[in-house]
Amino acid sequence: MIKQKTGWSDEEVIEHTPTIVVTYGEKGSAIMTAQGSTQIDICPVKEVVDPTGAGDAYRAGFIKGLLAGLPLESCARLASVAAAYVIESYGTQSHHFTMEDAKKRYKKTYGNALTLE
């Protein structure tokens, strides 16, 4: 939407914003900075029940990672884990998970431990 409203290219947007995160649903997400772009794989879901609220959960997970000082790639992976829990439940507020649940799922999906409180 930013590119559409401003007419800017990706490069011009990056000149004005240090980090851009774009989500692609089941195709993952991308982090774009002046240093380049990184594609982030999704956290697989057990079953697609309802995607309503997945974008909000993604943002919440990403911001949690930022506030914890995690690298951007880890923020996006945590965001994907949070979104997966939402997609597996019906409704926008019927899902729940603990930080321990998220850490286990993160490690299972991405192969490395998430250091987060």
Distance CA 27, CA 8 (A): 24
* Catalytic residue (one of 10, 41, 50, 56): 56
Q: Is 50 a catalytic residue?
A: no
| Helix-helix angle 72-87:54-67, to 10 degrees | 150
Residue 25 is classified by DSSP as G
Q: DSSP states of 67-115 as a string?
A: HTT--HHHHHHHHHHHHHHHHTSSSSS-----HHHHHHHHHHHHSS---
Q: Which residues are catalytic?
A: 56
